[in-house]
Amino acid sequence: MRDALEQHYGYLFEDNLLQEIEACSIYKKIPKGQAIMNIGEPIVYLPLLLEGAIKILREDENGDELILYFLEKGDTCAMTITCGMQNATSEVRAVTENETELLLVPAEKMQLWVTKYASWQQFIFDSYHTRMMDFLETVDTLAFLKMDERLLKYLQDKAKVTHDASIINTHQEIAYDLHTSRVVISRLLKKLEHQGVIKMQRNHIIVLDL
């Protein structure tokens, strides 16, 4: 675990901080497709991704979902930062996209370190900023792109964070993420296949154009 921490965060944090992180955080390996945080749950830990990918979803009362963005190694969740600072509850749902390794830093530490370590403060601000930019991008996507463009972007993003051009999902699952119906996804995927952008098999999509 020290190695992984060193590898992904070593260049960011000074030794003292790395040691503190190692001492007080919990290492977890989470299998694919598991929810690690749900809306309304209190934030007790700040996750630092070491390996794998996570998708962040917004959800309404009926359980209807919409994907906001993906997180990959070296990332942390900005929503968690804002909520964690206020001791608030989560506004989003996080689901592992594949097998994910992460470190859980207790929320009170993350507040403490902001004043104690300059590098930590920088890290918090930086990830807050990049997440904000990602977030604006998703707003743009929702506002300006048509469904077919959104679908392609989704597939490409997914291939990127998962470092794998082949995507193992049913059309229905994709439809949930994009908050549309399975029929629409099936049709658009077919169109994309004809355009030569993807290849399809059952439960399996290969993104050719990355």
Partner DNA sequence: ACATTAAGTGATT
Partner DNA sequence: AATCACTTAATGT
Residues that bind DNA (CB under 7 A): 146-148, 170-172, 179-184, 186-190, 200, 202-203
Bridging pattern class, strands 26-30 and 100-106: antiparallel
Beta strand extents in 62-116 (DSSP E only): 65-72, 93-96, 100-106
Smallest gap from Cβ 91 to DNA, in A, equals 23
In this complex, which beta carbon is closest to DNA, that of residue 3 or of residue 202?
202
Compare residues 115 and 201 and give the one whose CB is closer to DNA. 201
Give the residue among 3, 8, 152, 7 at the shortest CA–CA distance from 71. 8
**Longest Cα–Cα distance in the chain:** 56
Q: How far is the CB of 171 from DNA (least distance, A)?
A: 4
Q: Rounded CA gap, 121 and 98, in Å?
A: 29
Q: With respect to DNA, which residue has the nearer C-beta, 8 or 179?
A: 179
- Distance (Å, rounded) from C-alpha 86 to C-alpha 8? 27
**Which of 23/196 has CB closer to DNA?**
196
Query: Alpha-carbon distance 207 to 198, whole Å?
Result: 5
Rounded to a whole number of angstroms, the minimum distance from the CB of residue 210 to DNA is 20
CB of 134 to DNA, least distance (A): 22
